[in-house]
Structure 1
Amino acid sequence: MPSVPRPSRRRSAWPSRRWPYNEAVSVRLDSLTPAAVDDHRAGLVALLRDAVDSGASLGFLPPLDAQEALAYWESVAAAVREGSRLLLVALNEAGSVIGSAQLELATRPNGRHRAEVTKVMVHQAARRRGIGRALMLALEDHAQELGRTTLVLDTRTGDSSERLYRSVGWQLAGTIPRYARSVGGGLEATSIYYRLLTPA
């Protein structure tokens, strides 16, 4: 199945762009305002619960309660409102949320060239269609526009997401053992990745 192509850097606002990922369906990437986070609240809650309950390592343990998921997205909306976070969502033709990714902007004076990529997730029903890759590349373009040229992220060591990150140019910096608790109660390692961008 064809992958979602990388958007051109000579583009209009993200909400107006759409990338087909197969012949029948198209996906749109939107950068959400705080009000739009509220508009998509139900879809974002469903996406997070689907990701966590299907085994994604996102800081939560399954089963994820709906109220806990809602409280999380309310905190994201607050961060978007104060300008410390960018939230991208992938929407299908019906306008349903099928993926999301975030860029947390470093706010200290000596770190305003940095950002952290977090909570990259795609609904189980929409995986393996290039949506995760499209979200990563879109975040990269936004980061360059914001002057954030050093990007970092962490992910569970051995997770399938590592293949995605390496495929779009991320480099492994190292691993930390016993970093996060697993569903079974054990402690798992995390892998730290970075990406250095050319200033826009």
Structure 2
Amino acid sequence: MTLTFKLDPVIDPALRDGVLTLWTDVVNAGGAVGFVPPVTVDDIRPEWLGRLTELSEGRTRLLVGYDEQGAVAATAFLTRNGHRLMKHWIWLYVVMVHPHHQGKGYGRELMAAAEDAARTFEGIEAIRLTCRGGTGVDRFYASCGYKEVGRVPDAIRVAPGDDREDIMMLLPLH
């Protein structure tokens, strides 16, 4: 069993609902994708709408992994860097695999598909991402070839008295 990936899928109600459900389920399972649990689809929706704007403007691309039933099982957003001196790398963010599918190797498949997708951007030499300290996900990204390039202490406040590092990682594409 493997995922089927689609870069720049048609945004329709089924995709919208699939991404919103995935994002909600990932957060509520403890995933560090911009929120802390508990959340509802309505909590996630404004962030999704912001991503739709970026998609429509061509600044961001969406990578979706579908499971064998055709359901949204994984996603990642790839965004061009807007700074004129940093246009040679892109951001990878909101990297998610549905909790029901974790442990099947889908995360590695998603990261490989994201790397392939990044290579379709003209002039891109590296992928940059950040992750929340204290989750262990930095070890996963390192196992996918990403190198830690910095940490900002106490940059992410998940609750009063619970501050986490913002870990920056980079994957050169040469």
TM-score (norm 1): 0.79
Aligned AA for 1:190? D
Confirm whether residue 94 of structure 1 aligns to residue 85 of structure 2: no
Q: Deviation of residue 88 (structure 1)?
A: 0.8
Gaps of 5+ in 2: none
What are the within-5 Å matches in structure 2 for residues 2-151 of structure 1? 25-33=1-9, 35-36=10-11, 38-146=13-121, 147-151=123-127
In structure 2, distance between residues paired with 1:159 and 1:37: 33
Match of 1:181 in 2: 157
Residues 159-185 of structure 1 show CA distances to partners (whole Å, capped at 9, x for unaligned) of: 232222111211111211111112465
Q: How big is the alpha-carbon RMSD for the aligned residues of Structure 1 and Structure 2?
A: 1.7
The structure with more radius of gyration: 1
Give aligned pairs, total: 173
Q: 1:91 to 1:108 in 2, by over 3 A?
A: same
TM-score (norm 2): 0.90
Residues 30-74 of structure 1 show CA distances to partners (whole Å, capped at 9, x for unaligned) of: 1134x4254311111111111111111222122113222122222
1:154 pairs, out of 107, 110, 130, with 130
Q: Deviation of residue 145 (structure 1)?
A: 2.2
State the identity %. Answer: 28
Gaps of 5+ in 1: 1-24
Deviant stretches of 4+, over 6 Å:
none
The more displaced of 95-104 and 141-150 is: 141-150
